[in-house]
Amino acid sequence: MDYQKIKDYRNAHNPYSQRLGILVEEIGPGYARVVKTVGSEDTNPLGVPHGGVYFSMADTAGGSAMASHGHRAVTVNCNYNFMRSAKVGDTLTAEAREIKAGKTLCVYDVHITDQNGTLLGTGTFTFYQLEQEIEL
């Protein structure tokens, strides 16, 4: 499996993540890491990143880890726990690790940290593997 090509494909073909500034940095077997720097446009009325920023990062990381199997997939269930807020200028990292690899359903544990390694939140994401290979 050419993980570099999968990473490049994910970065080039995800307009939503591109708009949010989420970049896939690494994909490996059942693993992915994505990063984003928080901008002022990412904040909610309280001046901290909107929950959707964290959730989108976690979903992108999980989906990228799922893509390591070479097939397209869709999210079927997810749970995210918000623990701390970041601030504008922080660099966030979401790492997804596979905890169950099935024929159709795969489950990923996702952790989001800031540039200091502070845990901001965790999630569990379940994906359904489609019968469509990723065309590289």
Q: Residue 5: is its pLDDT beyond 90?
A: yes
> Where do the structural domains in the chain lie, given as residue ranges?
3-133
- Name the percent of the chain in helix, strand, coil, to the closest 5: 25, 45, 30
Q: Is the pLDDT score of 135 beyond 90?
A: no
CATH of 3-133, one of 3.10.180.10, 2.60.40.10, 3.40.50.720, 3.10.129.10: 3.10.129.10
- Threshold 0.85, pTM exceeds: yes
Share of the chain above pLDDT 70, in %: 100
Burial class (CB in 10 A: 0-12, 13-18, 19+), 63: buried
pLDDT at 122 over 90: yes
pLDDT tens-digit readout, 65-105: 999 999 999 999 999 999 999 999 999 999 999 999 999 99
pLDDT of 136 above 90: no
